[in-house]
């Protein structure tokens, strides 16, 4: 799983110097938890990556790739933080600039101090 420190501020999650806008459900959940400093987690298979600009995406650079047969693990860096995304098609090349979009319905947020999950938004 990709896990990194994040800061919640003004309805957004900041990872490095970049911003992900959160859904209303996550905003309410974080408000109830009271934590502003969090750990952000997302499984590589619950992400998207493309070389085309996308709204609400983190911009990074591909470091290397691993061929898994029918899928490829794309390892990239966002503001000095390492991530991996699993791709089945449209595989970027090493040193390409990419846009990383986690599925906000499948992210995990943890309290920074306790490392406990803050739970998930109600459906």
Q: How far apart are CA 11 and CA 55, in angstroms?
A: 16
Query: DSSP 3-state assignment of 100?
Result: strand
**24 φ/ψ angles, rounded to the nearest 5 degrees:** -60, -40
Residue spans of the domains in the chain: they are 2-111
Q: How far apart are CA 39 and CA 86, in angstroms?
A: 21
pLDDT, tens digit, 9 for 90 and up, residues 54-112: 989 999 999 999 999 999 999 999 999 999 999 887 789 999 999 999 998 899 999 99
Contact 77, 35 (CB under 8 A): no
Task: Write the DSSP symbol of residue 55.
Answer: T
pLDDT, tens digit, 9 for 90 and up, residues 40-59: 999 999 999 999 999 899 99
Q: Of 3.20.20.70, 3.40.605.10, 2.40.50.140, 1.10.10.10, which CATH number belongs to 2-111? A: 2.40.50.140
């Amino acid at each position: 799983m990709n896990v990194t420190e994040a800061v919640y501020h003004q309805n957004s999650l900041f990872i490095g110097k970049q911003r992900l806008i959160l859904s209303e459900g996550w905003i309410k959940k974080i408000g109830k938890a009271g934590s502003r400093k969090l750990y952000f987690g997302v499984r590589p298979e619950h992400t998207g990556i493309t070389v085309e600009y996308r709204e609400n995406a983190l911009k990074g650079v591909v470091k290397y790739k691993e061929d898994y047969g029918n899928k490829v693990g794309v390892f990239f860096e966002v503001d000095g933080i390492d991530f991996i995304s699993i791709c089945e098609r449209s595989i970027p090349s090493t040193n390409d600039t990419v846009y990383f979009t986690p599925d906000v319905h499948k992210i995990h947020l943890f309290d920074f101090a306790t490392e406990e999950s803050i739970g998930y938004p109600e459906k």
